[in-house]
A and B are shown apart, each in its own frame.
Chain A
Amino acid sequence: MTELEGINEGAQPADKPIYFDEPAVHALYQMVLVLGEELAATREQLHALIALSEKGVVPTAEAIESFLPEDQFDAERADWVARLLEPLEKIAGSDRSP
């Protein structure tokens, strides 16, 4: 558990609606987001590791965490998120089954 999840003082976010009849589908979406976030972090670190190695820098944890990628790496980030979310477009035009 992170420290943030331990914050129980102050105002708490309101409960959010769930749009799926089957709660497991909602849970699945949350799991996809967590996986996507973890994969994004790993991709970022892997990119740093490769870039540092190519420059002959020892890729220590400190070197990796303080590495700043080149601007064009952002296009790669955007591209894979677009591919991840592409299936959404495919369900456009369909209505939920009765």
Chain B
Amino acid sequence: MPQASREINRSTVHKLSPVASCRDRGRQSFIFHTKRHLGNIARTTLRSEFDRVSSGQASDGAECDASSAMQALPLFAAWSALNIGSQQQMWRALGDMVNRQIPAMSAAGRELGGAAVNGSLQLDSDLEMPDYFQSTAYHGQPGGYCLDRGEGDWFSGAMQEAGGTLYSRGAGTGDKDSKGQAVVRFIAECCPDVAPDTVVDLGCGYGGQTANYAVAFPDAQTYGVDLGAGLLRYAHLRATALDLPIHFKQACAGRTGFADASVDLVVSNILLHEIPPEMLAAVMRESFRILRPGGLVVHQDVPTQKPDTAAFQQWLSRWQVAHNDEPFWQSFAETSVTNALVDAGFAEQDVFEAYQPQIDGPLIWYMVGARKP
């Protein structure tokens, strides 16, 4: 049964957190409110426009395909330009804040490097990077998650945490939300008997969610796996700053290097929509291979596959693909993860999928997984 003794969420501050100056705060608040306002316009006015053109009631009265009709609307053009621009603006503002504090953050990192927390960092300079990972600047993050400028470089991890926080807040997610906690709550409800000795978080990034598993399962050995060295360097220092003994390992989520049947709980947070279909299948096979009998896998992601997803929401998802460096969003939406789990070896009756509301935000999360017999 997971424990909820300590909350790690979007309001968590640690010794590596960059400090926003008055000017930073002004710039970031503008981006935040712009994103929030554009989100409101999407949910109200843009949605009405979508309904209008979908019903063939455009001014020329002709039947038309909603997507192409939307492209021709002045509101859509303006909304898109502002949305794209605010995302680019976000990375510039956060990059300026982080860059300015690199000396101070590096000093804090060096101090943490000697801290007596029993976590670890295992990088593999010979690891072959998949092409998709090297060529995708996820969400427009400069340099992408693969950015690695050599020993000690944690820039991509710091940017992933800062960008993820500002982006999510702009999308309406509050400070109390945490994707990792959503998974922990889900496990507590669906499998209260789970008491893992070993937890592996696939595609852990800067380690924001991995921290939740270390808190929820304090008696377990918790591992975070990711391809990005810059993400993992930051994740290691961040976990140390939070006094959490987490082991970070550079490896592919489809080929982790863990022994067969050696793990009790495999989790991932918003990994599946960031990888191509063949890698998703490999992740499911790897989840099955490394789980012990009785072990549990839970993958959390965006709810693009929900059967009753409205046409407008589907259209908005496709917008993400074209505008926010989300090359695999659509292929994920068209993939049956439950089938992929069965193909990987899980028994059909042991596979589940569910939807979990955010505790502090308007979204719901997709939970999919299986128990190994």
Contacts and interface: CB of A to CB of B under 8 A. Distances in A.
Partners in one complex: yes
Contacts of A3: 95-96, 99
A77 B75 contact: no
Interface string B86-108: 10110111011001000000000
B22 interface: yes
B85 A40 contact: no
A3 B91 CA distance: 12
B74 A96 contact: yes
A42 B25 CA distance: 10
A43 B149 CA distance: 36
Interface in B96-144: 96, 99, 134-138, 140-144
Give chain A's interface residue range (CB within 8 Å of chain B).
35 or more
B323 A7 contact: no
Give chain B's interface residue range (CB within 8 Å of chain A).
35 or more
Interface stretch (B76-84, B189-197, B239-247, B310-318): B76-84
Interface string A16-35: 11111000001001100110
Given A36-B30, A89-B41, A44 B73 contact: no
The secondary structure that dominates the A interface is helix
Nearest to A39: B30
A12 to B, nearest CB: 6
Interface string A40-72: 111111001000000000000000111101000
Interface of A: 2-5, 7, 9-14, 16-20, 26, 29-30, 33-34, 36-37, 39-45, 48, 64-67, 69, 74, 77-78, 81-82, 85, 88-89, 91-96
11 contacts: A16-B84, A19-B77, A33-B82, A41-B23, A41-B30, A45-B23, A77-B30, A78-B36, A81-B34, A88-B75, A94-B73
